[in-house]
Amino acid sequence: MEKKRHTSIFEKLLLVVGFLVLIIGYFFINRVFIAEGFEVSWGFLQTVFLWLLMVIFIILLAIGEDIKEGILLEQLDEIKKLKEAVLKRKK
């Protein structure tokens, strides 16, 4: 039987921040591209690369949080089983 995991406040906040980074970053990059006359410059490429790095970092952070929660749930189950085993031995 698989237990359902509830999302934490941190994960919900991370989702909101991720969407904001995506939307606001895209909006500003689009404005800079239009302001430079639809030409690609080194500054523009650096900005796009840094924006993509931020997006990747947020995705990795969300994956790490999910893995951490999964490990904690497994450890909790293992501790419960150990407790039951110790209580059975005492009887």
pLDDT in tens, 33-58: 898 888 888 888 898 999 999 999 99
**Distance between first and last Cα of the chain:** 28
pLDDT of 52 reads 94
54 near 25, Cβ under 8 Å?
Answer: yes
CB atoms within 10 A of CB 15: 13
Alpha-carbon 42 to chain mean position: 29
Phi/psi of residue 60, nearest 5 degrees = -65, -35
Nearest one of 1, 2, 12, 3 to 65, comparing CA atoms: 12
pLDDT exceeds cutoff 60 at 32:
yes
